[in-house]
Structure 1
Amino acid sequence: MSDPRPDKDIRPTPLDHTPTAPSTGATLIAEAFGTFLLVIGVISTALFAAGFGEGTDAHNKGVGFLGVALAVGLTVIAGVYAFGPISGGHFNPAVTFGLAAAGRFPWKSVLPYVIAQIVGGLVATTIIVLIGLFGPDKWLSTAQAGGFASNGWGELSPGGFGIGAAIVVEVVFTAIFVFVILGVTHSTRGTKFAGLAIGLTLSLIHLATIPIDNTSVNPARSIATAVYGGVLPLSQLWVFIVFPIVGALIAGFAFRPLFDGVKNA
């Protein structure tokens, strides 16, 4: 939350519950752990459980898109309440950029946070690869050939949508996500149930957009899967780095003029 004392050098965060400021190292480790939890939760669900039984069982026992959407929401809720009081619980470079644009987070801390988030996401998908090495015959190669749950358009879009759809989705839904975060963590209008609202919003976003581009709204998640997804996901990765950040910046810069009547400096 933004601090009313502009002369004090603090690190404002969405969930400001820590009575004493944690060290920089602690905040970065918390961001890495939270992003790790988010990525391993949603990508494990997508790869191990979403289509479980497909092609072999007429009564598919897979969790499908609904299960993946719930998984991402549950991991965010857990991560925000576990690590939010330490780091603010961003777990997403786009969120970090959006909070900075809204004056809730110092620009000088954006790069360290983003690096920690990317590292946490990569560790998560690396562990999934290690699990896959001990899986059924050709499970890992098949998962990688299918893009490893990477974001994308065309061949990588579950519904066959094009690049234009992916761009619109990432800008609009990331902006919505950041608007919700800024609203529920507001210094005077926020709620103690911010973590729940944020997690449920992310589940809703996934329910609406997984068929379009596998839902990013988080560059760290996109990087983590594209690294193991092959040439095509890597070639399309730029969209899922650039446009979630664009959406987040739009929301961040617009929030105060729209809802607080305060002009951005």
Structure 2
Amino acid sequence: MNSIKKYIAEAIGTMVLVLFGCGSAAIAGSVLGTFGIAMAFGLSIVAMAYVIGNISGCHVNPAVSIAMLIDKRLSPKDFVGYVVFQVIGAIVGIALLAFIINSADLGGFAVTGLGQNGFDEASAVGLSMIGAIIVEIILTFVFVFTILGVTDNEKTSAIAGIVIGLTLVFVHIMGIPLTGTSVNPARSLAPALLIGGLALQQVWVFIIAPLIGGSLAALVYRVFKYDKSENKA
């Protein structure tokens, strides 16, 4: 039962992230600009961290969950459960967003988009596929590396939600013009499934690259943790 509660918490958290983050990009992106959209994603994480953080850890992102698996803070069984429910939550969030857009006088979600990610012609600056892969690995590495550090220390755990949210803001500030910023496979898969076309063709980059970035962050952090324990000894 405790596992189910954690999985449902992950689904709710991911739904909120996708609905408000991608919703801000799709509905009010031209008004909010890069910084406003980045804040929407970051504040979504801050809000959810203080609601479901003590239930599931508020991963709401398969790239975070794979890092926690590598760092042995998450079991293989829970990793699968987390990812499945994160994807479900993201799909529910994007479906709600599509309904809201289609219920307003905005021309439909095919016109507004759903905050999908992309490269080449789907990038605001024409970033290449290789560039998109490198950018997403780097941004995810920085984001997940921060999460691993701030949640691994009791002294900083109380402010972890704020630190993580602000880190998500700053990686979005750089990433939005380049790829739309994924750093989260569930967040990218959901809009691609509804939009289809080019977004669906390109989504593999925004699934694989964040998972690589998250895994690298965990591997590097484990080295630092090992060095830290050696120094104490």
TM-score normalised by length of structure 1: 0.83
C-alpha separation in 2, matches of 1:27 and 1:232: 34
**8 Å Cα contact 1:175-1:251 kept in structure 2:** yes
**8 Å Cα contact 1:161-1:212 kept in structure 2:** yes
- What is the aligned partner in structure 2 of residue 84 from structure 1? 53
SS in 1 for 2:181: coil
Offset, 1:253: 1.6
**8 Å Cα contact 1:183-1:189 kept in structure 2:** no
C-alpha separation in 1, matches of 2:107 and 2:26: 13
SS in 1 for 2:156: coil
C-alpha separation in 1, matches of 2:143 and 2:150: 11
Given candidates 212, 221, 230, the residue that maps to 2:187 is: 221
2:172 maps to 1:206: yes
Offset, 1:189: 5.4
Structure with higher helix content: 2
Deviant stretches of 4+, over 3 Å: 187-191
C-alpha separation in 2, matches of 1:174 and 1:256: 17
From the superposition, tell whether residues 84 and 137 of structure 1 become closer, same or farther in structure 2 (CA, over 3 Å): closer
**8 Å Cα contact 2:11-2:85 kept in structure 1:** yes
Given candidates 10, 20, 28, the residue that maps to 1:49 is: 28
2:95 maps to 1:95: no
Given candidates 191, 214, 221, the residue that maps to 2:157 is: 191
From the superposition, tell whether residues 254 and 128 of structure 1 become closer, same or farther in structure 2 (CA, over 3 Å): same
From the superposition, tell whether residues 142 and 188 of structure 1 become closer, same or farther in structure 2 (CA, over 3 Å): closer
- What is the aligned partner in structure 2 of residue 63 from structure 1? 32
Provide, for residues 40-84 of structure 1, a one-character-per-residue CA deviation record: whole Å limited to 9, x for no partner. Answer: 010110011111xxxxxxxxxx11111100000100000111011
Provide, for residues 197-247 of structure 1, a one-character-per-residue CA deviation record: whole Å limited to 9, x for no partner. Answer: 000000000001111100000000001111122210101011111110011
2:117 maps to 1:151: yes
Offset, 1:109: 1.3
C-alpha separation in 1, matches of 2:183 and 2:205: 11
Count of residues in Structure 1 that have an aligned counterpart in Structure 2: 229
Given candidates 75, 88, 91, the residue that maps to 1:106 is: 75
- Identity in percent: 37
Offset, 1:137: 5.9
- What is the aligned partner in structure 1 of residue 15 from structure 2? 36
**8 Å Cα contact 1:149-1:229 kept in structure 2:** no
TM-score normalised by length of structure 2: 0.94
- What is the aligned partner in structure 2 of residue 23 from structure 1? 2
C-alpha separation in 2, matches of 1:99 and 1:165: 27
C-alpha separation in 2, matches of 1:89 and 1:83: 6
C-alpha separation in 2, matches of 1:138 and 1:78: 30
Letter in 1 for 2:62: P
Q: Which 5+ residue runs of structure 2 have no aligned equivalent?
A: none
